[in-house]
Amino acid sequence: MSATDKFLRMGLAVAMFLAVVGVILFVASRFRGRSAERWVALTFLLPTGLLVAIGLIYPGLRTIYQSFLDAGGNSFVGLANYATIFTDSGQLTVLRNTVLWVVLTPFVATAIGLLYAILIDKARMEALAKALIFLPMAISFVGASIIWKFVYEFRPDQPGVNQIGLLNQILVSLGGSPRQWLLDEPWNTLFLIVVMIWIQAGFAMTVLSAAIKAVPEDIVEAARLDGVKRLGMFRYVTLPTIAPAVIVVLTTIGIATLKVFDIVRTMTGGQFNTSVVANEFYSQSFRSANQGLGAALATLLFLLVIPIVAYNVRQLRSTEAR
Amino acid sequence: MTAATPAAEPTGGTTATTTTPAVNPVTLAADNAKKRLTSPWASLFAVVLAFLWTLPTFGLLITSIRPQRDINTSGWWTFFTNPAVTLDHYRTVLSTEGSAGLGAYFVNSFVIVIPSVLIPITLALLASYAFAWVDFKGRSLLFVVVFALQIVPIQVTLIPLLTLYVDAGLAGSFWTIWLSHSIFALPLAIFLLHNFMREIPKELLEAARVDGAGHVQILFKVLMPLLTPALAAFGIFQFLWVWNDLLVALTFAGGSPDVAPITVAIANLAGTQGTAWHLLSAGAFVSILVPIAVFLALQRYFVRGLLAGGLKG
């Protein structure tokens, strides 16, 4: 297919979509009178409702059902797939790795983001300093993985062979011998986690920096008059005030980390015991043709985020109630 | 994820606009002097962090312009003592011929991203308006349902959706990717736009209603101008997310050069030719360039969107 063909197809799709929206708006503008509100709501919500029902609700329920079926999706096997996840040694490694990811990434990324936000607050060239840390957010996980693969690149330790990966070069200059960073478990998982932290720290920094700027000036001033010093100011004034923002950042990065797939797939392909639940789902469903186990892994992912859903819905309800 | 983030002013891109209270200039000067005395270590640490964060990307950029022989035999940092520049790798990856040519995939990324941004924004605009300003029964319950759907992992939906697409004869076409991205974006888009819409003063809408304006007119004539920053914020969000996506594209487009975006091509290149650094580095940079340009140009809106309601996972 030529590029022109592709763009023509795209133009057609956009035109069709705009036509549909036009019809919706026309219909909605016709309603008059007392029951109009209900009909306007219905026409406005109809396309969204349809898409969400077909694309999120139905597939979600379907996957949960499938997780109780065998590899081919033919016969009912009860909880066997879940039993596999919690007993098979390969799957247990996947679980261990996922726990490592979800525990380490949010906390380290948030800590770095918070530290940086405090350090550069009101500093000269604050905008530039922020952009440097924030930029990895704009880079795809695939791009970031390539960047970091190159940092970890290994060359055999022989005379006349130079290291081309930065990390090994540093090791060699310090008198050590180069390592294959992505080969030995469990360390290789940690080196993959570094990539995610690198990406997410900028997000944490941005949100927390805004929160720090919103700390009321008079509280800071009052504390200063009371003789509170830098560290005390952070401990007793800044941190309590920005606590809600810290929690938002932690949960958001936590969810993103649970679903991480691209980094593992691009950097190691899940080999050398580096797979995580989200990547294992893809391998089982599309490579090993074990749809039952894949569905169970996806369902597990869903179960893991439910507490976060519940927490967020409660937050939402309480802000709506104000 | 929630509106719990304190309502702070957007920051990135602009200088800090903190409101300085009227302080006597002498104390202010003393304050600054004190700060300067206590913070060199802090500044040094910040500089080190910023340096560490930028270095990996910088290394790949340098690599992408070095001759292939140099890349494979010496580290990128030797470039400064032995500078040799070539644009060959970019020529190779941007061409539409050969297995290393990413040109076709680059086009696909654009074809994928434009409708995938336009469709969910438009639909979410209608839906969030209904949730914010149209009065109907079950409104808040429905809104909570849509909000909660935000956290359904995409993985859960992939296989059933793929089956649906195959049955409908859409599999392997752009349609599947456009539709999927639109669907996955809707809950977050509705949530974000709803938050912005609720901030608009009620009186404005009531005045318009008294003048005899219907919902469609209010939405487009009264609210639209006020919503432009919010729409831009979400548009950038969605642009970055779609452009950077691998999972959705891989599932629905496979690796076909007819539909697969550049992320898929790069991931394949990394898998099959792990040592072809000259192609990988240039390819990765081409894929990074577009989102970074979008990000830098529209950083302010993007940050505002981030602060309004968290981030899609």
- Which residue did the predictor score with more confidence, B217 or A32? B217
What pairs with residue B59 in β-bridges? Answer: none
Task: Provide mean pLDDT across the span B88-93.
Answer: 82
Task: Provide mean pLDDT across the span A279-293.
Answer: 86
Flag whether residue B141 sits within 8 Å of chain A, measured between CB atoms: no
**Percent composition of chain B: helix, strand, coil (DSSP 3-state, to 5):** 75, 0, 25
- Which residue did the predictor score with more confidence, B120 or B76? B120
Q: What is the reported pLDDT for A321?
A: 53
Q: How far apart are CA A236 and CA B230, in angstroms?
A: 35
Task: Provide mean pLDDT across the span A223-252.
Answer: 83
Cβ B156–A63 below 8 Å, yes or no?
yes
Nearest to A68 by CA among A83, A57, A79, A60: A79
Q: How large is the ipTM?
A: 0.83
Flag whether residue B92 sits within 8 Å of chain A, measured between CB atoms: no
Cβ B157–A56 below 8 Å, yes or no?
yes
- Confidence band (pLDDT; 50, 70, 90) for B134? confident
Q: Which residues contact B107 (CB under 8 A, 6 or more apart)?
A: A3, A6, A7
Q: How far apart are CA A84 and CA A155, in angstroms?
A: 38
Cβ B60–A150 below 8 Å, yes or no?
yes
Residue B153 CB neighbour total at 10 angstroms: 24
Q: Which of A131-140, B41-50, B56-65, B298-307 shows the lowest mean pLDDT across its residues?
A: B298-307
Q: How far apart are CA B289 and CA B255, in angstroms?
A: 22
Average pLDDT of chain B, as a whole number: 79
Tokens of B84: 């040799």
Only one residue has tokens 């599932």, namely B251
Residue A306 CB neighbour total at 10 angstroms: 11
Asked if residue A116 lies in contact with residue B49, where contact means CB atoms within 8 angstroms, the answer is yes
For residue A76, the SS3 value is strand
Residue A45 CB neighbour total at 10 angstroms: 24
Q: How far apart are CA B266 and CA B100, in angstroms?
A: 9
- Model's pTM, two decimal places? 0.83
What pairs with residue A76 in β-bridges? Answer: A69
For the packed helices A239-258 and A291-320, what is the interaxial angle rounded to 10 degrees?
A: 160
Looking at CA atoms only, how far is residue A87 from chain B in angstroms?
22
| Prior bond of A186 cis (ω within 30°) | yes
Question: pLDDT tens across A294-303, in order?
Answer: 889 988 988 8
Q: How far apart are CA A111 and CA A108, in angstroms?
A: 5
Flag whether residue B179 sits within 8 Å of chain A, measured between CB atoms: yes
Cβ A59–B160 below 8 Å, yes or no?
yes
Asked if residue B56 lies in contact with residue A151, where contact means CB atoms within 8 angstroms, the answer is yes
DSSP string, A164-193: -SHHHHHHHHTT-----TTTSTTHHHHHHH
3-state secondary structure B267-310: HHHHHHCCCCHHHHHHHHHHHHHHHHHHHHHCHHHHHHHHHHHC
Q: How far is CA A48 from CA A268, B128, B187, in A?
A: 38, 10, 9
For residue A224, the SS3 value is helix
Q: Which helix (H) or strand (E) holds B236?
A: helix B224-244
Task: Provide mean pLDDT across the span B227-247.
Answer: 87
Cβ B270–A47 below 8 Å, yes or no?
no
Q: What is the reported pLDDT for B183?
A: 93
Residues from chain B that touch A142, judged by Cβ atoms under 8 A, are 244, 246, 263, 266-267, 270, 284, 287
Residues from chain B that touch A133, judged by Cβ atoms under 8 A, are 49-50, 53
- Alpha helices by DSSP H, A183-290: 187-213, 217-225, 230-233, 239-258, 262-267, 277-282
Tokens of A244: 């809600």
Q: What is the reported pLDDT for B18?
A: 43
Cβ A259–B153 below 8 Å, yes or no?
yes
Residue B291 pLDDT > 60, yes or no? yes
Asked if residue B6 lies in contact with residue B296, where contact means CB atoms within 8 angstroms, the answer is no
- Residue of chain B whose alpha carbon sits nearest to that of A251: B1
User: Longest Cα pair distance anywhere in chain A, in angstroms?
Assistant: 87
Residue B36 pLDDT > 50, yes or no? no
Task: Please count the residues of chain A.
Answer: 322
Burial class (CB in 10 A: 0-12, 13-18, 19+), B41: exposed
Question: pLDDT tens across B97-118, in order?
Answer: 666 678 888 889 999 999 999 9
- Alpha helices by DSSP H, chain A: 3-30, 36-52, 58-66, 80-87, 89-120, 126-134, 141-151, 166-173, 187-213, 217-225, 230-233, 239-258, 262-267, 277-282, 291-320
Number of alpha carbons in the 13 Å side-chain half-sphere of residue B125: 26
Q: How far apart are CA A137 and CA A109, in angstroms?
A: 12
